[in-house]
Amino acid sequence: MMVDGSEPAFEVGLFQTKVDHEAEDDSFYQALVPFDSFDDVVRRDRYRPLPNDWIIAVTDVSRSTGAIEQGRYREVNTAGAAVLAAVSNALPDLQFPSTFGGDGASFAAPSSYSSIIRDALAKTAAWAEDALGLTLRIAVIPIADIRAQHLDVLVARFAPSSNVTYAMFAGGGLAWAERKLKQGGYIVPRAPVGATADLTGLSCRFAPISTKHGVILSLIVVPSDDPTSFVELIQELLRTLRSHEPGLHPLPAEGPLPAWSVDYLDHAIKKGSRKMPFAAWAAKCSRAILARVGILPGLPIGGFDEDRFQRELVENTDYRKFDDGLRMTVDCSTELADVIDARLEEAQRRGACLFGTHRQLAANLTCFVPSPTRADHVHFVDGASGGYAYAAANLKRNVAGGEAPQSERRSA
């Protein structure tokens, strides 16, 4: 249990890559023993502090709420995931802890890679602005500066399947780094026009995933005044949600469907522009139609097995997180969502947590697939109509105080 006064954390995505370096810092993350029960995210003994000579990188899309209100949630999610794809491609031999937060991403790495990381992030920000019209803010912070604030960054590894692990963060340091980013500290400027990041493996080719049970609930819960009560609250909340498993998974067992329309985002990822030639548009539309009506065979082709990939996709999806707070995107009934909101409102009143939720009718999936023939592809899920961004906005209102209860601010 986290009862040492540190802030618990929000979940992180891990990119599995080969590690050939012998340096202890390089092997820190892969040496962590994974756990496969999500209940263990509040067990302090699962976490280890980052090495002293590491850096924390935090990113977010500026004015993401406005972009989402314009219906650009897929672009916002893609920009956030692009950060992790670019750095993973720039450092293909390094395994590092990272987390996707909907409108941004964060990760940690040895400071010896700082120049490569800064270059990849600057190019990603340039791509996000030039190709998508989004401003991606970036900050890179030494772990020593975080510890100087009497905070820390602790990391654990959660294995949702036998194929991948995702990183969890605790200690309060990542949340502090995110605040510094929004205050304009430690900023990394974008690269010049024309610079481009290697986003190989990044894609956003699936249609929004409709709720099966009534609502897609995006949830953020962070500690308030009493860390012990916070841990007990998270344990209770997870027990309640676990009683409804596996139905809470936002993806159907057979996997998501491809988008009906052409995916201009995939074109932007590959070409740096959303403008797509007609031939490419027609080819992609045809494949999406065939896949939806079941004409494309589920047979292995060139080492790629579509059916196996879809099963792995569901198993690997990152819908439960912990990085200085619990984040989840679940498919549940409106009645269960009401129960969760009521319990969180009561916990907030007694000082155990601060929280924000948001309800919508579909989820959005963003993918990083370095190789379609390997099982370690990762998939990030968020609500399709505001998701974590709107939940975070509701959380901020709760932090400010004086707002109506969550139950009076629900939207679908």
Tens of pLDDT, residue by residue over 243-299, are: 887 789 999 999 998 876 546 677 788 765 444 443 443 444 444 434 444 434 444
Position 303 scores a pLDDT of 61
Look at residue 88 in the predicted model and tell me its pLDDT: 96
The CA-atom distances, in angstroms, between 157 and each of 25, 212, 342 are 16, 30, 31
pLDDT of the residue at 263: 61
- Average pLDDT of the residues in 191-201: 93
The stretch 209-232 carries a mean pLDDT of: 95
- Residue 165 inside a domain? The answer is yes
Residue ranges of E strands in 102-249: 105-110, 136-142, 154-158, 166-170, 202-203, 209-210, 215-223
Q: Is the dihedral of CA 129, 134, 135, 136 positive or negative?
A: negative
The pLDDT tens digits of the residues spanning 120-165 come to 999 999 999 999 999 999 999 999 999 999 999 999 999 999 999 9
- Give pLDDT tens digits for 310-339: 999 999 999 999 999 999 999 999 999 999
| Separation of alpha carbons 82 and 368, rounded Å | 9
- Mean pLDDT, to the nearest integer, of 370-393? 93
Q: Residue 178 and residue 56: Cα distance in Å, rounded?
A: 10
More confident residue, 225 or 82: 82
Q: What are phi and psi of 156, to 5 degrees?
A: -135, 170
Q: How many domains does the chain have?
A: 1
* Residue 301 maps to a domain: no
Res 116 pLDDT > 80: yes
The pLDDT of residue 25: 80
Residue 271 lies in a domain: no
Q: What is the per-residue pLDDT across 59-103, written as a single tens digit (0 to 9) for each? A: 999 999 899 999 999 999 999 999 999 999 999 999 999 999 999
pLDDT score, position 271? 65
- Per-residue pLDDT, 258: 84
pTM of the predicted structure, to 2 decimals: 0.84
The band of 113, judged by pLDDT with boundaries at 50, 70 and 90, is: very high
pLDDT surpassing 60 at residue 20: no
- Structural domain includes residue 293: no
Alpha-carbon distance of 344 to 330, in angstroms, equals 16
Residue 279's alpha-carbon distances to 107, 200, 284, 286, 290, in angstroms, are 38, 22, 9, 11, 17
49-53 mean pLDDT: 96
Whether the CB-CB separation of 393 and 248 falls below 8 Å is answered with no
Mean pLDDT of all residues belonging to the chain? 85
How high is the pLDDT of residue 294? Answer: 46
260 lies in some domain:
no
Residue-number span of the structural domain to which 318 is assigned: 24-255+306-408
User: Phi and psi at residue 191, in whole multiples of 5°?
Assistant: -80, 165
Q: Does an H or E element contain 327, and which?
A: strand 326-332
Rg (CA), the chain: 20
Asked whether residue 292 is assigned to any structural domain, the reply reads no
Question: Which residue has 């399947």 as its token pair?
Answer: 161
21 φ/ψ angles, rounded to the nearest 5 degrees:
-65, 145
**Opening angle at CA 77, ends 112 and 15, nearest 5:** 40
Name the token pair of 310: 């879809």
Residue 280 falls inside a structural domain = no
CB atoms within 10 A of CB 402: 6
pLDDT at residue 300 tops 70: no
pLDDT above 90 covers what percent of the chain? 71
CB 99 within 8 A of CB 12: yes
The answer to whether residue 295 sits within a structural domain is: no
β strands within 224-325, DSSP E:
317-318, 320-322
Coil, strand or helix at 99: strand
Alpha carbons 67 and 65: distance in angstroms, whole number = 5
